Amino acid sequence: MTTLTAALHWRPHPPFFYGWLVLGTGALGAFVATSIAGVVLGGIQDLIVEETGWNRSTIGLAAAVGCGDPAWWRHLSGAWPIATAPGGSCR
């Protein structure tokens, strides 16, 4: 068996349920993504305030409910939410 074939057929054998490894990796990824998003939002928040006229709490609420991408709402209801215009921008 060649080294390439052995590498392609390798499978991890953790001493615990493999789903916990997947869950932990996903949670770590979500934690990192959230902390990066917070830094980026904090850096551009003043620009958003100037552009939209919203206050900081409104911007935080819009970011928390995901006004940037309302795909979750379309999936659940089949319609656009009232606060979100087509294309994913909160107006």
Would you give the DSSP letter of residue 55? -
For residues 69 and 88, the answer to whether their CB atoms sit within 8 Å is: yes
pLDDT tens digits, 67-91: 655 555 455 445 444 444 445 555 5
**Side-chain-facing half-sphere of 82: CA atoms under 13 Å:** 0
pTM here? 0.44
Would residue 80 count as lying in a domain?
yes
User: In the block, which residue shows the tokens 């060649």?
Assistant: 2
In contact, 83 and 67? CB cutoff 8 Å: yes
Q: Can you give the residue range of the structural domain that contains 31?
A: 24-90
| Residue 41 is assigned to a structural domain of this protein | yes
Residue 3 lies in a domain: no
Is residue 39 a part of any domain in this protein? Answer: yes
Q: How many domains does the chain have?
A: 1
pLDDT tens for residues 29-47? Answer: 989 888 887 788 788 888 8
